[in-house]
Structure 1
Amino acid sequence: MKNKKYIQGLGIMVMLLFLTSCQDWLDIEEPDHKLVSSEVFDTEETAKAAMQGIYNQLYQAGFSAGWLGSTTVLGGLSSDNLELINTTTLDLLQFQQHNLQPDNPYNETLWGSAYNMIYMVNSLLDGLENSTKITPEIAQRLEGEAKFVRAFTYFYLQNLYGEVPLVLTTDYEHNATIEVSSTTAIEEQILADLVVATSQLGGSYLTGERTQINAYTAKALLARVHLYLENWELAEQYSAEVIAASGTYSLSTDLNEVFLANSQEAIWQLSPLGAGTTTTHTNEGSVFIINPILPSLSYVKLSEGLLNSMEAQDLRKINWIGYHEGLGVHHAYKYKIQNATGEAAEYSMVLRLAEQYLIRSEARIRQNNLTGGIADLDHIKARAGLPLLSVSNPGISQEALLEELFIERRKELFTEWGHRWLDLKRTDRAQGALAPASPDWEATDIKYPIPAEELLSNPNLYQNPGY
């Protein structure tokens, strides 16, 4: 692994505390710049601050920030949901045209920021293990939160790149030459970390903010992971447990409230306060809304294919899609605020209840429980103002119902965490959906290339096929 650029040894923990000191989440004094790793875990407050620093960094890290180099934007360009407004942005155009080069800087940042996050998590876990000053209750909760973040990060690394190094320590010499792990080994580690998170975290948000991970956050990701693994019963089980927590989560009846800070639909969000600046708008609002004064500063638009998939009366089309007359393009409008200071009105959504209904619907359909699958899908359709399948087509076949589900996933989850890209990959539909409009499409494009710098730094890594 190339760690000189992304890993700064002991200084990482100091940086985490510094990031936290810029925020109002914890009332602790700014840490001394000479703070050593052991002192980070001398008190419960500083240990909690280190975990808050990880949350803050998630809002800034390339793969998770929601900005141009994020999974959200790059995955959207790789699928058929997003297109560039200006095709002279060549590094981004490579994602859209499926002509991605290993030295692409966005690809390098995607990979590097994810492994930087994993190193931070491993540093925190090391500190917790070696500390004698933290109560078991607090230590277990912090361990659960940290392991969730590691599982979450590896979920994206594996689904974007395939077999990748499984880094579980902070040993630089070991990590510098680590080999890739099998898909099975990575999946097992993701599941193991999430099981720890579910068992060690409670179901409440202790701070009152849905920016903190709880047991339901872990169950929501477990539901998605098992869906991807085609463990239909477990996918149904975990999504059902989240849906059943009706006292905590519910589908927002007003689509314009879904992405507000701490909305009832939010299972996990990232706060823009994590940026440590005076701005309080989300990165998604900044990148997707076309700049009304300087539209040339905007990069992406929604594809005609996505727009055409949505009926005129679909409330998502009405409320979640905007139009810029000057450029004549449509843009995502899930987030309504492009620039703001003061109190943060919107948080970046990571996991939300609507996806859990879609997961359970698919899991039920795959098990031939078509009635149950229709019922879950109708929750999403009802909110969108569309005819219910239970009324319009209750005798729909399993194959047709699955296709209906995939269409609803596209319409519901566009511009969120690359869902469309990952859906096309996991269901083997990428070739059919993308090849007709992409002359450079090859079957091997379903995986991103291992960054060129990583291959130069670590002789035990090998490039993905096709690159």
Structure 2
Amino acid sequence: MMMKKFLTSMLFVSIILNTGCKKFLEEKSNQRLMIPENLSQLQTILDNFNTMNNNYSSAAEVSTDDFFLTNNDYQALEYDQDRGTYSWASNNLFLPGDQGNGWSWTYSSVYASNSVMERLALIARTPANAATWDNIKAQALIFKAARLLDAAGTWTNAYDPATAANDLGLPLPVSTNFNEKQTRATLEDTYQAVIRYLREGIATAANQPLSTFRPGKAAGYGLLARTYLNKGEFAQARIYADSCLRLQNQLIDYNALDPSAEYPISATNPETIFSTIFSVTASLLFNTPKISPTLLNSYEANDLRRTLFFRDNGDGTFSFKGNYTGEFSLLCGVATDEMYLIRAEAAIRANDIQEGLNDLNTLLAARYRRGTFTSLANLTQQAALARVLLERRKELLFRGLRWTDIKRLNKLGANITLTRNINGQQYTLPPNSPRFALPLPEDVISLSGMTQNPQ
């Protein structure tokens, strides 16, 4: 019986996730083995790492200013998509067949969450299965919200309360019916959907999930904190970062790490709350991305991140090795260091300066060589805010957050202009450019008739 259940579950997952949801859903078959019938099978769908946790879009990370490509590395990129993303090309429409399609991966995960929700509604919730039933619902909701939040950071403009009700958002499918015409919701509705899914998921999520691959309450709170930070609602961001840290607040003591290791930070580190990974395209692979000299020089001599995060390439350039995965893949999920930084920034913006600095001091004491860090105190609000934003960039690079940070900070007047020099030609992305909302894939536009992002 157990083998039958296992094969049933794996067959369904294989059909849904490998041959395509649409083809599966359009099959008119009476084979009951093709439809999940119990909670164990639904959990197996949610435990499919490649669909639920892996392949978050890396297009936004490729677009950031934390690294550069040499002319040789740029020319060596196999796909036009990678070159176009790196140079912020207005005609970079992610052609079918190019390496990686973050949009497709995003909505494969969204539809998997929807399929679980649909089947879960057909399974009676009883006193005997209530805890499992509730936890599966929570995971599906939080997984879905995480994907949509990530997609909003990539394919929409920065949130502006004055325009969000009219700005282009994302499609928000709520079922697995591929025949339903999908249109883009407003940006306001997109963020409200993310918030609604997270709040509903948190209500029944596990306090201590079995692994970081499954989202629990802390993950939900952390994603809510990130959502409200992106919206510029700092009081709410502070509340939810605090809620997250009340459940999980451990930091890695970087003094205990080996800077000579290929990847010094283990995947089982105590900071990671929710493990999601973005796709590593050629632009981000191994030593191809070279760290911005300006960013590299911002690390002080006793800042252990200087040796733990970066690998000397031997030619005057440095590459990144501070991955929170213990390997070449890159974490974009929730971790405690991000929560300390969100709570610190929000407190400082509320003029609770020393409270914010206390969080920053807690983080930095675990990042500097033991005995060398002097706690920050008696700073003006402007100086404290500048320091927390600097530390946010230094701490969270290659975590899928910088692109959204640039967009939200430019809305607040940061005036960050991005510049690339490629084969003697300069490319510039000015603050608040419409190109900060990356173009949707061309096949999505042609098949759905959705409105393309203006470039």
TM-score range with shorter-chain normalisation? Answer: 0.7 to 0.9
Alignment of 1:365-384 (within 5 A): 365-384=348-367
Q: Normalising by structure 2, report the TM-score.
A: 0.78
Q: Which moved more, 1:310-319 or 1:419-428?
A: 310-319
Any residues of structure 2 matched to 1:175-194 within 5 Å, and which? Answer: 177-194=181-198
| 1:77 and 2:59 are equivalent in the alignment | no
Match of 2:230 among 228, 231, 241: 228
8 Å contact from structure 2 (residues 38, 123) kept in 1:
no
1:150 aligns with 2:139: no
Report the residue type matching 1:46 in the other structure.
Answer: Q
Q: Conserved in 1, the CA contact under 8 Å of 2:267 and 2:326? A: no
Partner of 1:355: 338
Return the offset for 1:436: 8.3
Shift of 1:263: 1.8
Is contact 2:277-2:333 (8 Å) kept?
no
Deviations 1:264-317 (CA, angstroms, capped at 9, x unpaired): 111112599xxxxxxxxx969995433xxxxxxxx3222222212222321101
Alignment of 1:250 with 2:250, yes or no, is yes
1: CA distance, partners of 2:122 / 2:306: 52
Closer, same or farther in 2 for the Cα pair 1:19/1:381, shift >3 Å?
farther
Structure 1 pair 271/79, CA: closer, same or farther in 2 (3 Å)? closer
Residue in 2 that maps onto 1:203? 207
Per the TM alignment, residue 351 of structure 1 is displaced from its structure 2 partner at its CA by 1.3
SS in structure 2 of the partner of residue 439 of structure 1: strand
Return the offset for 1:199.
Answer: 0.6
Q: Assess, with a 3 A threshold, how the Cα gap between structure 1 residues 191 and 165 changes in structure 2: closer, same or farther.
A: same
Q: Which of 101, 123, 126 pairs up with 1:109?
A: 101
Q: Report the secondary structure of 1:198's partner residue.
A: helix
Superimposed CA distance per residue, residues 45-64 of structure 1 (whole angstroms, 9 cap, x where no aligned partner): 222212212x3423443xx2
Q: Aligned residues, how many?
A: 400
**What is the aligned partner in structure 2 of residue 170 from structure 1?**
176
Q: Please list every run of 5 or more consecutive structure 1 residues that lacks an aligned counterpart in the other structure.
A: 1-10, 21-33, 65-69, 273-281, 291-298, 340-345
Map 1:1-12 onto structure 2 (within 5 A). Answer: none
**CA separation in 2, counterparts of 1:430 and 1:190?**
26
1:39 to partner: Cα distance: 6.0
Matching residue's letter, 2:91: Q
Give the Å deviation of 1:328.
Answer: 4.3
The 2-side partners of 1:324 and 1:375 are apart by: 36
Q: Distance in 1 between matches of 2:189 and 2:437?
A: 18
CA distance in structure 2 between the aligned counterparts of 1:37 and 1:182, rounded to whole angstroms: 39
Q: Report how far residue 153 of structure 1 moved.
A: 0.6
104-113 or 430-439, which moves further after superposition?
430-439
**Residue of structure 2 in register with 1:92 after alignment:** 82
- Displacement of 1:108 in angstroms is 7.1
> Any unmatched runs of 5+ in structure 2?
1-7, 18-28, 157-168, 259-263
The C-alpha deviation readout for 1:295-352, integer Å capped at 9, x for no partner, is xxxx322222221222232110111111122x5431111149658xxxxxx9956211
Task: Sort the Cα spacing of 1:283 and 1:111 in 2 relative to 1 into closer, same or farther, 3 A.
Answer: closer
Are the structure 2 counterparts of residues 35 and 138 from structure 1 closer, same or farther at C-alpha, using a change threshold of 3 Å? farther
Mapped partners of 1:456, 1:311: distance in 2: 50
* TM-score normalized with structure 1 length: 0.77
Q: For the residues of structure 1 that align with 2:409 and 2:54, how far apart are their CA atoms?
A: 31
| More displaced stretch, 234-243 vs 115-124 | 234-243
Counterpart CA distance in 2 for 1:250 and 1:284 is 31
- The aligned amino acid for 2:106 is A
Tell me if the contact between 2:232 and 2:408 (Cα under 8 Å) persists in the aligned partners: no
Aligned residue identity for 1:87: Y
Classify the secondary structure of the residue corresponding to 2:215: coil
Deviation at 1:168, TM superposition (A): 1.2
Q: For the structure 1 residues 211 and 140, does the alpha-carbon distance in structure 2 shift closer, same or farther, using more than 3 Å as the test?
A: same
Q: Percent of counterpart pairs with the same letter? A: 20
Instruction: Identify which of 254, 266, 269 aligns with 2:272.
Output: 266
Answer whether contact 2:84 2:92 (CA < 8 A) is retained: no
Q: Which structure is higher in helix share? A: 1
Question: SS of the counterpart of 1:172?
Answer: coil
Aligned to 2:110: 118
Asked if structure 2 preserves the Cα contact closer than 8 Å seen for 1:259 and 1:334, the reply is yes
Task: Give the root-mean-square deviation of aligned CA atoms.
Answer: 3.4
Matched, 1:423 2:405: yes
CA contact (8 A) 2:234 2:349 kept: yes
What is residue 26 of structure 1 aligned with on the other side? none
* Aligned residues of 1:41 and 1:133 also touching (Cα < 8 A): no
Of the three residues 47, 56, 59, the one matched with 1:52 is: 47
Counterpart of 1:439?
427
